[in-house]
Structure 1
Amino acid sequence: MAAEVRAVLKNRFPKIDEELYEYLTGVLTADDFESVEEIQDAVGEMLVEVSGNQMDPKELEMLCSQIIRFFSLGTDLPNGLHKLQQLNTPVLMGTMGAPQQDQEEVSSIWLAQKQSSSTVDQRKLEKAEAKIRAKQERREGIEAPSGFQGATLQTNKEATATQALSRRGQTSEASSKSRDIRIENFDISIGDKNLLLNATLSLSFGRRYGVVGRNGIGKSTLLRMISARQLCLPAHVTVLHVEQEVVGDETSALESVLECDEERDTLMKEEQTLTKSGANDARLAEIYARLHEIEAESAPARASVILAGLGFTPDMQRKATKEFSGGWRMRIALARALFTKPDLLLLDEPTNMLDMKAIIWLENYLKGWESTLLVVSHDRQFLDEVPTDIYHFYSQRLEPYRGNYTDFIKTMNDRLTSQQREYEAQLAYRKQAQLFIDKFRYNAKRASLVQSRIKALEKLPELKPVEREQVVTLKFPEPEALFPPVLQLDSVTFAYDKSATILQNVDLSANMQSRICIVGDNGAGKTTLLKLVNGDLEPTKGIRMAHRNLVIGYFSQHHVDALELEVSPVELLAKRFPGKPSESYRTQLGQFGISGEMALQPIASLSGGQKSRVAFGVIAMTVPHLLVLDEPTNHLDIETVDALGKCLQTFKGGVILVSHDERLVKTVCKELWVCAKGTVRSVEGGFDEYRKMVERELAEQ
Structure 2
Amino acid sequence: MAAYSEVITSNFPSIDSELLEYVTGVLESGSDDFESEEDVNEAVGGILVEVAGEDEMQLVSQVCQQLCKILKLNSRGTDSASATLLDAPVHLAEIVEAQEVILSDDASIWMAKKEAVSNVDKRKLEKAEAKIKAKQEKRSMKDDVPKTNSNGNSTMTASASQATSRRDQKLEESGTNRSTDIKIENFDVAFGEKVLLNSANLLLAFGRRYGLVGRNGIGKSTLLHMISSGELRIQSHISVLHVEQEVIGDDTLAIDSVLECDTVRNNLLIEEKQLSEQLQATSPGSTDSKQSQRLNEVYQALEEIEADKAPAKAAMILAGLGFSSAMQVQCTREFSGGWRMRIALARALFSKPDLLLLDEPTNMLDIKAILWLENYLQAWPTTLLVVSHDRNFLDQISTDVLHLFSQKVDHYRGNYSQFVTTKDEKLKNQQREYEAQLQKRQHLQVFIDRFRYNANRAALVQSKIKEIERMPELKAVEKESEVVLKFPSEFEKLSPPVLQLSDVMFSYTKDKVIFSGVDLSADLDSRICIVGENGTGKTTLLKILLGDLNPVDGIRHAHRNLRISYFTQHHVDQLNMNQSAIEFLASKYPNKPLEEYRRQLGSYGVTGDLATRSVASLSGGQKSRVAFAVMAMNRPNFYILDEPTNHLDIETVEALGMALKEFKGGVVLVSHDECLIRLVCKELWVCGNGTVKAMEGGLDEYKSILEKEFEAQYNS
- Superposition TM-score tier, normalisation by shorter sequence: 0.7 to 0.9
Instruction: Choose 672-681 or 45-54, whichever is displaced more.
Output: 45-54
| CA gap 1:24/1:477 in 2 versus in 1, 3 angstroms | closer
Q: Which residue of 2 aligns with 1:487?
A: 499
Q: Which residue of 2 aligns with 1:534?
A: 546
Instruction: Judge conservation of contact 1:519–1:674 (CA < 8 Å) in 2.
Output: yes
Q: Which residue of 2 aligns with 1:167?
A: 166
Offset, 1:256: 0.1
Counterparts in 2 of 1:146-225, with a 5 A limit? 158-172=157-171, 174-225=175-226
| CA gap 1:21/1:199 in 2 versus in 1, 3 angstroms | closer
Offset, 1:617: 0.8
Percentage identity across paired residues of the two chains: 54
Offset, 1:458: 1.7
Offset, 1:485: 1.6
SS of the residue aligned with 1:614?
helix
SS of the residue aligned with 2:385?
strand
2:357 to 321, 343, 346: 346
Offset, 1:582: 1.2
The answer for unaligned runs of 5 or more in structure 2 is 31-38, 49-60, 80-113, 144-153, 283-290
Instruction: Judge conservation of contact 1:671–1:682 (CA < 8 Å) in 2.
Output: yes
Q: Give per-residue Cα distances to partners, 1:540-568, cap 9 Å, x unaligned.
A: 10010101121111111111111111111
Distance 1:201 1:235 in 2: 17
The answer to whether structure 1 residue 507 and structure 2 residue 519 are counterparts is yes
Q: Which residue of 2 aligns with 1:322?
A: 333
| CA gap 1:49/1:446 in 2 versus in 1, 3 angstroms | same
SS of the residue aligned with 1:537?
coil
Q: Which residue of 2 aligns with 1:5?
A: none
Taking structure 2 as the reference length, what is the TM-score of the superposition? 0.83
SS of the residue aligned with 1:307?
helix
Counterparts in 2 of 1:407-556, with a 5 A limit? 407-478=418-489, 479-556=491-568
Instruction: Judge conservation of contact 1:210–1:376 (CA < 8 Å) in 2.
Output: yes
SS of the residue aligned with 1:503?
strand
Instruction: Judge conservation of contact 1:208–1:389 (CA < 8 Å) in 2.
Output: yes
The answer to whether structure 1 residue 27 and structure 2 residue 25 are counterparts is no
The answer for unaligned runs of 5 or more in structure 1 is 1-7, 87-132, 146-154
Q: Which residue of 2 aligns with 1:286?
A: 297
Offset, 1:275: 2.6
Distance 2:7 2:567 in 1: 68
1:9 to 2, 12, 19: 2
Instruction: Judge conservation of contact 1:30–1:85 (CA < 8 Å) in 2.
Output: no
| CA gap 1:669/1:576 in 2 versus in 1, 3 angstroms | same
Offset, 1:586: 1.1
Q: Which residue of 2 aligns with 1:119?
A: none
Instruction: Choose 171-180 or 663-672, whichever is displaced more.
Output: 171-180
Instruction: Judge conservation of contact 1:516–1:670 (CA < 8 Å) in 2.
Output: yes
Offset, 1:136: 6.7
Offset, 1:52: 8.5
Q: Which residue of 1 aligns with 2:149?
A: none
Q: Which residue of 1 aligns with 2:107?
A: none
Distance 1:634 1:48 in 2: 53
| CA gap 1:52/1:452 in 2 versus in 1, 3 angstroms | farther
Offset, 1:18: 9.8
Counterparts in 2 of 1:261-272, with a 5 A limit? 261-272=262-273
The answer to whether structure 1 residue 664 and structure 2 residue 676 are counterparts is yes
Instruction: Choose 261-270 or 641-650, whichever is displaced more.
Output: 261-270
Offset, 1:524: 1.1
Q: Give per-residue Cα distances to partners, 1:585-624, cap 9 Å, x unaligned.
A: 1111111111111011111111111111111111101211
Distance 1:49 1:185 in 2: 25
| CA gap 1:250/1:60 in 2 versus in 1, 3 angstroms | farther
Q: Which residue of 2 aligns with 1:634?
A: 646
Q: Which residue of 2 aligns with 1:101?
A: none
Offset, 1:56: 2.7
| CA gap 1:59/1:505 in 2 versus in 1, 3 angstroms | farther
Distance 1:73 1:22 in 2: 23
Instruction: Judge conservation of contact 1:33–1:68 (CA < 8 Å) in 2.
Output: no
Counterparts in 2 of 1:44-193, with a 5 A limit? 46=63, 49=66, 55-56=72-73, 58=75, 69-71=118-120, 73-74=122-123, 142=140, 158-172=157-171, 174-193=175-194
Instruction: Choose 41-50 or 303-312, whichever is displaced more.
Output: 41-50
**Higher radius of gyration, 1 or 2:** 2
The residue type paired with residue 492 of structure 1 is V
Q: Which residue of 2 aligns with 1:569?
A: 581
Offset, 1:9: 3.3
Distance 2:139 2:413 in 1: 49
Instruction: Judge conservation of contact 2:14–2:164 (CA < 8 Å) in 1.
Output: no
Offset, 1:192: 1.1
| CA gap 1:291/1:514 in 2 versus in 1, 3 angstroms | same
Instruction: Judge conservation of contact 2:14–2:163 (CA < 8 Å) in 1.
Output: no
| CA gap 1:545/1:175 in 2 versus in 1, 3 angstroms | same
Q: CA RMSD in A?
A: 3.1
Q: Which residue of 1 aligns with 2:260?
A: 259
Distance 2:232 2:77 in 1: 36
Instruction: Judge conservation of contact 1:477–1:623 (CA < 8 Å) in 2.
Output: yes
1:685 to 694, 697, 703: 697
Q: Which residue of 2 aligns with 1:375?
A: 386
Instruction: Judge conservation of contact 2:578–2:616 (CA < 8 Å) in 1.
Output: yes
The residue type paired with residue 625 of structure 1 is N
Q: Which residue of 1 aligns with 2:592?
A: 580
Instruction: Judge conservation of contact 1:13–1:51 (CA < 8 Å) in 2.
Output: no
Q: Give per-residue Cα distances to partners, 1:96-149, cap 9 Å, x unaligned.
A: xxxxxxxxxxxxxxxxxxxxxxxxxxxxxxxxxxxxx5x77668995999xxxx
The answer to whether structure 1 residue 385 and structure 2 residue 434 are counterparts is no
Instruction: Judge conservation of contact 2:9–2:15 (CA < 8 Å) in 1.
Output: no
| CA gap 1:19/1:287 in 2 versus in 1, 3 angstroms | farther
The answer to whether structure 1 residue 590 and structure 2 residue 583 are counterparts is no
Distance 1:318 1:60 in 2: 82
Q: Which residue of 2 aligns with 1:232?
A: 233
Instruction: Choose 550-559 or 279-288, whichever is displaced more.
Output: 279-288
The residue type paired with residue 685 of structure 1 is G
SS of the residue aligned with 1:497?
coil
Instruction: Judge conservation of contact 1:488–1:509 (CA < 8 Å) in 2.
Output: yes
Instruction: Judge conservation of contact 2:637–2:665 (CA < 8 Å) in 1.
Output: yes
| CA gap 1:226/1:317 in 2 versus in 1, 3 angstroms | same
Offset, 1:72: 5.7
Q: Give per-residue Cα distances to partners, 1:315-359, cap 9 Å, x unaligned.
A: 110000000111110000000000000000000011111111111
SS of the residue aligned with 2:631?
helix
Instruction: Judge conservation of contact 1:357–1:698 (CA < 8 Å) in 2.
Output: no
| CA gap 1:541/1:281 in 2 versus in 1, 3 angstroms | same
Instruction: Judge conservation of contact 2:265–2:302 (CA < 8 Å) in 1.
Output: yes
Distance 1:262 1:412 in 2: 43
The residue type paired with residue 2 of structure 2 is L
Q: Which residue of 2 aligns with 1:126?
A: none
| CA gap 1:603/1:14 in 2 versus in 1, 3 angstroms | closer
Distance 1:85 1:163 in 2: 21
Instruction: Judge conservation of contact 1:525–1:675 (CA < 8 Å) in 2.
Output: yes
Instruction: Judge conservation of contact 1:195–1:396 (CA < 8 Å) in 2.
Output: yes
Q: Give per-residue Cα distances to partners, 1:344-379, cap 9 Å, x unaligned.
A: 000001111111111111001100001000000111
The residue type paired with residue 288 of structure 1 is Y
SS of the residue aligned with 2:119?
helix
Instruction: Judge conservation of contact 2:14–2:162 (CA < 8 Å) in 1.
Output: no
SS of the residue aligned with 1:70?
coil
The residue type paired with residue 161 of structure 2 is T
SS of the residue aligned with 1:195?
strand
Instruction: Judge conservation of contact 1:209–1:390 (CA < 8 Å) in 2.
Output: yes
